[in-house]
Structure 1
């Protein structure tokens, strides 16, 4: 079984998506520096090589209940059958000794318990939906406990 590896990009330090340009219009060359900085280079209309710093979010290999790809940095809404719900960001938890994409505990309300990964549970049950992302819609995140 293979998993599709995809990323989406953002111009560093902004909420602006990295431009999606047809391959016949421009060619971008991506490189990752030793410190982890991602750069995208291309020729501009004047013939100059331009480099832009880009931040990337990785596709986590799962889709929400509407078939939308879920990426690191997305904000998802988890809604139970009884309509109880909460909202949280998709985060890579490696810094917490938990190498998986999941929703950080601080976004999970008191009383909600999960025996497995929250995102995997929600996708398997068809009750998780992408409602935005942390760069364009930070206002969607409210910590409730």
Structure 2
């Protein structure tokens, strides 16, 4: 399976999400992000920037799913929960999966993969952790 590698970046300084077409690092460790329109070179320094990778998946509405997106997962019977898309590579598990799944929902393996492979549940991007942290209130 071939997957397109794409990123977006959250800028803490301007509180804005940028689609990314190019990423470069200079000798001082500063990261330069160029937006998709190709006109605006925006310097984001590591402490201000949060890069998020495209998971290669789309929600039920065709919206691309990125790391740090907040998903609403809905079962066939209408029950639902909210969880965050996370890259678990830093924890020895090199895959995108969901963080914050309620204990009542049990998956034998990767929940995100199970949802998309089984087709029993659907998911919808309802926000992300930077622009919509209120969606996670009481969950952490």
> Could you say which TM-score interval applies, normalised by the shorter chain?
0.7 to 0.9
Is the counterpart of residue 108 in structure 1 residue 101 in structure 2?
yes
Unmatched runs of 5 consecutive residues or more in structure 1: 21-27
Shift of 1:130: 0.7
Q: Which residue of 2 aligns with 1:95?
A: 90
Equivalent of residue 69 in structure 2, options 67, 74, 94: 74
1:46-85 aligned at under 5 Å gives the runs 51-53=43-45, 54-85=49-80
Unmatched runs of 5 consecutive residues or more in structure 2: none
Structure-2 separation of matches of 1:67 and 1:76: 13
Provide the alpha-carbon RMSD of the alignment: 3.2
Identify the structure with the greater strand proportion: 2
Q: Secondary structure at the match of 2:114?
A: helix
- Using a 3 Å threshold, how does the CA distance of structure 1 residues 97 and 66 change in structure 2: closer, same or farther? same
Q: Secondary structure at the match of 2:83?
A: strand
Rg comparison, structure with higher value: 1
- With a CA cutoff of 8 Å and minimum separation of 6, indicate the structure with the bigger relative contact order: 1
TM-score of the two chains, using structure 2 as the length reference: 0.76
Q: Secondary structure at the match of 2:134?
A: helix
